[in-house]
Structure 1
Amino acid sequence: MDRLDHLEHLDKHLVEELAQVARETVREELREQSRKQRRTAVLYAASGAAALYAGGAVALAVGLALAIGLPGWAAALITAALLGAVAYFLRGAAHSGHGPHAPHRVVGGTPPPAPPGGLGMPYPPVPQTPPMPHTPPDAPHRGA
């Protein structure tokens, strides 16, 4: 019995050590993954900031090009209208299931009613033949 108690103590110690090694391995793996994700997020943020400044430079160039033949206020107004139109079409393209030219609302009327249950049909389909009356097999047959 004394020998079995000693082995049980070794088993518990081995399980504790294995659990500790597993925890450390998982912790290190998570650290490495979060480091990679953090780097990726920083690169995406930097590319977004660079794209924002590039867009501003393009808008400035368009405005200055228009200002050659127009007053400054007209060039700025046209540039703002162009940017607004681009933003509108990009917003439309971002909506799921809608293209950039899809209407967002019904003009001059009410939208069609939503089908019950969201199945795509406002009512159940009509069968081709009428239903037959149910008669039990042992019932007397009424016929001509």
Structure 2
Amino acid sequence: MEHLDHLEHLDKDLVDELAQVARETVRDELREQGRKRRRAAMLYGASGAVALYAGAAVALAVGLAWAILLPAWAAALVTAVILGGVAYALREAGRPKRPHAPHRVIGGTAPEASPSGTGLPYPPIPAEPPNVPGMPGADPESPHHRG
């Protein structure tokens, strides 16, 4: 049996070495992917900054065009309203479309099922408030009040 003990030590060393090589390989791969993603993020950021300046130049051109017909303050106001309308339209286009939840009816009951078909959207509302011991209007003959 003693002649197999040194082989066990070799197996352990081999496993440790393979684990180290695998860790280094994964680390290098993640580092490379990180570099590529950072570069892409920087390019997207730079693109956004340049687009912002381009949009400002277009807004200035629109304002100057309106200034031919209107006073400068009115041209700036018209340009601001146009840009506000475009911003609102873009925000509405980017909103997720989902059905509205049905409204509760005070004293009524909940609808039979939610629009998604997963069950009730909220628990039904009881017709009367619960009877809580110790609260004004509680029944003194309830089982909790008997001594």
TM-score, normalised to structure 2, is 0.69
Structure 1 equivalent of residue 103 of structure 2: 113
Deviations 1:41-88 (Å, cap 9, x if unpaired)?
Answer: 001100100110010000000000110111000100000000000000
Structure 2 equivalent of residue 35 of structure 1: 35
Work out the percentage of aligned pairs sharing the same amino acid: 66
5 Å-filtered alignment, 1:9-88, equals: 9-88=9-88
Secondary structure of the structure 1 residue equivalent to 2:82 = helix
Secondary structure of the structure 1 residue equivalent to 2:69 = coil
List runs of 5+ in structure 2 lacking aligned partners.
105-110, 121-147
Compared CA separation, residues 57 and 113, structure 1 to 2 (3 A): same
TM-score, normalised to structure 1, is 0.71
5 Å-filtered alignment, 1:99-138, equals: 112-113=102-103, 115=111, 118-120=114-116
Compared CA separation, residues 62 and 30, structure 1 to 2 (3 A): same
**CA-CA distance at 1:22 after TM superposition:** 0.2
**CA-CA distance at 1:20 after TM superposition:** 0.3
Structure 2 equivalent of residue 8 of structure 1: 8
Runs of 4+ deviating beyond 2 Å? 111-123
Q: Give the total of aligned pairs.
A: 112
